[in-house]
Homo-oligomer: A and B are copies of this chain.
């Protein structure tokens, strides 16, 4: 049943204007067809009316940066077992992740690094209705990087694991556009890149600056440029020519300059600059061009806890990083939710201990709420947070014609809240109902299968 009317709610439509009280939203075949003051709505002529008076209606939430197979975890301990254990079940794990997100109001996710073929298969299965979960848009590999056992992500694992295994997994992720591209002539690289752009991915993410130095000793801080600037330029052009969004991975100010120059659509973690404050002029340009700014914040409390546990991730919350966050918000940039969350191994969560569960930024399902909490500490107001969680992601990725707001003609991805999110953004959690393409989500049934979320050692269901 994807035809009905929701009547009486206060509508926060994602466009940033004042809430509209007492609205009736009509959904037909999964699309929003009318929005009128309830007092003007003639229920007799339309579909079944659900009375949602006293509630708040928002666009379905969108997460602009996740890795359903948990990518952040792969950079620490636990990734080896995870990849070994679920090797034959990656599609299922990705679906489990998409279901954890959907259960918490996220109707669309942008997966910006993952094993390409499994994530595309899961995407297709969800889109076709064969499985449930958030709608997935997927980038596959980060062009120029290796797989999870390459030094881009892990310096230790290959000391302990079979090369045959490591190479097979790495190839599944790097998918023909890995770090080896840095060695080849321009012509060959461009041919491989085009093949990749046309391989079914929904967007393309390029490592403008490198990743692996983040693993090296902090005394040797540095970052390199993966490709010559002119290569990055035609990568952007070739991606845009195919009608796809172009995403940047950067870790430094000079790389952000290049990303801005080549007109990326979305910047992933632009605020991570090895503790350099991004110049105001550059912040201004990024804001003016409406580039999606995928900030990855953490709460100050969480940062302190991490550092007390000797966990270097806590250092990401440096004063300079915070300043970068504030500056983007203050400049009115197109700030969007981008959490890096994924389906974390049960064992790794046990490792962390209860103390580090609350406010953990990358626990799928909780991640977007934690993001909002953290960025409010940097000056983002409630309406800004709601837009970052809906409209802004859709805008950055060029999907605003279909999702991101509650407007006539849009897909009926909706979240209905019991309490007012503008009064307190914690109310974004207070979900009464979720609709994806006009279909009510049975939250209690998700995930349909427990795999990663089951205690480790539980047999993987068929």
Contact = CB atoms under 8 A, between A and B. Distances in A.
Interface of A: 77-82, 84-85, 87-89, 146, 150-151, 154, 156-168, 179-180, 182-186, 210, 212-213, 216-217, 219-231, 252-254, 257-258, 273-274, 276, 279, 310, 345, 347-348, 350-351, 456-460, 462
Contact of A180 (B222, B228, B459): B222
Contacts of A219: 150, 158, 163, 166-167
Given A151-B216, A225-B228, A347 B182 contact: no
A182 B258 CA distance: 13
A380 to B, nearest CB: 26
Given A156-B156, A184-B276, A458-B88, A225 B223 contact: no
B351 A160 contact: no
Q: How many copies does the complex hold?
A: 4
Contacts of A182: 222-224, 252, 254
B225 A160 contact: no
A278 to B, nearest CB: 9
Residue of A231, A310, A351 with most partner-chain B CB within 10 A: A351
Q: 9 nearest interchain CB pairs?
A: A224-B224, A81-B84, A179-B222, A162-B347, A164-B350, A78-B162, A225-B225, A164-B347, A84-B84
A234 to B, nearest CB: 13
Contacts of A146: 220, 222
Contacts of A220: 146, 150-151, 179
Contacts of A156: 156, 159-160
10 contacts: A78-B162, A80-B84, A81-B162, A150-B219, A154-B160, A164-B348, A164-B456, A166-B219, A225-B225, A228-B258
Nearest to A154: B160
A165 B456 contact: yes
Contacts of A159: 77, 156, 159-160
Contacts of A164: 347-348, 350-351, 456
A351 to B, nearest CB: 5
A306 to B, nearest CB: 14
A179 B274 CA distance: 12
A151 B217 CA distance: 8
A183 B347 contact: no
Given A78-B161, A80-B80, A162-B351, 10 more contacts: A80-B84, A84-B84, A87-B456, A89-B459, A151-B220, A156-B156, A179-B220, A183-B274, A184-B276, A462-B462
A461 to B, nearest CB: 10
A400 B83 CA distance: 47
Contacts of A459: 88-89, 460, 462
A381 B409 CA distance: 78
Contacts of A160: 77, 79-80, 154, 156-157, 159-161
A282 to B, nearest CB: 9
A310 B221 CA distance: 21
A457 B310 contact: no
A305 to B, nearest CB: 15
B457 A183 contact: no
A368 to B, nearest CB: 25
A355 to B, nearest CB: 15
A252 B79 CA distance: 31
Contacts of A168: 347, 456-457
Contacts of A222: 146, 179-180, 182-183
A87 B166 CA distance: 19
A275 B219 CA distance: 31
B254 A161 contact: no
A225 to B, nearest CB: 4
Residue of A156, A162, A167, A230 with most partner-chain B CB within 10 A: A162
Nearest to A81: B84
A158 B254 contact: no
A77 B345 contact: no
Contact of A221 (B183, B210, B224): B183
Nearest to A274: B183
A230 B228 contact: no
B77 A161 contact: yes
A351 B225 CA distance: 33
A214 B385 CA distance: 45
Contacts of A150: 219-220
